[in-house]
Amino acid sequence: MQRTLRVSTEARLETIPITDRVADVVPDDLAAGTCHLFSQHTTAGILVNEDEPRLREDVESFLAELVPDGGHRHDELDGNADSHLRAALIGGDATIPVSDGALALGTWQSILLVECDGPRERELVVTVTAAD
């Protein structure tokens, strides 16, 4: 099964909790399998981490400090090299096990969309596959 999720972002750099939206794609009767989430964008990433507001702010601050806004060669083209570099650090996909019709995330784990070039409308492809 495959579904595309659309997520609207509001800021240039932000983290958005999407666990519930991804979980809604997983069939309740799936005993075991995987859920793969893929960002169709080179300036947005997928992160599995704790959904705690201060930690999300820390992630945003860390990315902003690690990759400065300007001074990159790609900026000569369209001014968003920082967004590409930040998203490259995060990565564009995640695979989560499915067990008994639910995402098998750890106690403090959540799925976050990391927007690096917003605000924008993002598309995420969610593919759920049953284990053999």
Reported as a single tens digit per residue, the pLDDT across 60-113 is 999 999 998 878 777 677 879 999 999 999 999 999 999 999 999 999 999 999
Q: Return the structure tokens found at 13.
A: 């750099």
**Predicted TM-score (pTM) above 0.75:** yes
Task: List Cβ neighbours of 48 (8 Å cut-off, separation of 6 or more).
Answer: 94, 96, 105, 109, 110, 111, 112
Domain parsing of the chain, residue ranges: 2-130
**Helical (H) or strand (E) element with 89:** helix 81-90
Among the four given CATH numbers 3.60.10.10, 3.40.225.10, 3.30.565.10, 2.60.120.460, the one describing domain 2-130: 2.60.120.460
